[in-house]
Amino acid sequence: MRFSAAIAIFLLVLSCVSMRAAAQTAEAVDHTVLRVCADANNLPFSNEKGEGFENKIADLLAGELGVSVRYTYFPDTIGFIRNTLGARRCDLIIGTASGNELVQNSNPYYRSTYAFIYRADAQPVTSLDDPLLKSAAIGIVAGTPPATLLAQRGLLGNLRSYQLLVDTRFNSPAKDLVHDVATGTIDIGILWGPIAGYYAKQETPPLVISPLPPQQGPMKLDYRITMGIRPNEPEWKRTINDLIRKKQKDIDQVLLSYGVPLLDEKGEPITH
């Protein structure tokens, strides 16, 4: 009798543990719609009108799933992940750097790098060690790796700094930087490639984009970009990875059409 009671208690405890584990790993994904976390004013990545390349990539994924896209918008600044993906208001961030510890990363779907921006009539710049930089007014976003590398080269006095973290509803320092190159306010700009490529195409005449060569040492200039998923959602991650694999060629064409400088696994430019 005592043995039967012990077995019953054991089974009850096991059932509770299983229920608790299931609750902890339950996936909160809405499969009736693709719920995307995005910034409503953050071109070239996304905006409320669906004009960014991440909007177009979301459309590709949703089309493959046979559902529509529904956005949760929040400025891409401090608190973005916490107030969107973390709050379970949406299920996917289309673009985030590989290794972002606040999310579960999908497989990378593109690799890009920082790039020089200059006018077509200017002498080309080839690297951060190019002698031309010693006499140039250089536009840089504060706190980015190229800013640190230029300061280490004694070029701090040549830098015109643009803000890194802003409320994108009101400010677009990267767009301002590119326009300042076009007007001659600064000689050269250095920006994250996807931003540089997009805004350089908006100027008349278009500006030249030149990817920075790989940097020796611990500070990287190129990054692999993934999609962001909540932790403990392995099935959703598997689904997203399958979608990336199926739609990779289409994704590449979207990125190239926006002027994103793409790199292959060897770090060589992808042009088609």
Tokens of 232: 């403990």
| CATH number of the 34-111+222-270 domain | 3.40.190.10
Q: Which one-letter amino acid corresponds to residue 73? A: Y
Residues contacting residue 64 through CB under 8 Å, at least 6 positions apart:
243, 246, 247
If you count them, how many residues does the chain have?
Answer: 272
CATH topology of domain 112-211: D-Maltodextrin-Binding Protein; domain 2 (3.40.190)
pTM value is 0.86
Write out the residue limits of the CATH 3.40.190.10 domain(s) in the chain: 34-111+222-270, 112-211
pLDDT (tens digit per residue) in 200-255: 999 999 999 999 988 877 889 999 999 999 999 999 999 999 999 999 999 999 99
Q: How far is CA 90 from CA 49, 230, 250, in A?
A: 18, 10, 24
Residue 225 near residue 111 (C-beta atoms within 8 A): yes
Q: What is the pLDDT of residues 86-107, one digit of tens each?
A: 999 999 999 999 999 999 999 9
For residue 118, the cross-strand partners are 208
Token representation of residue 111 = 């690799």
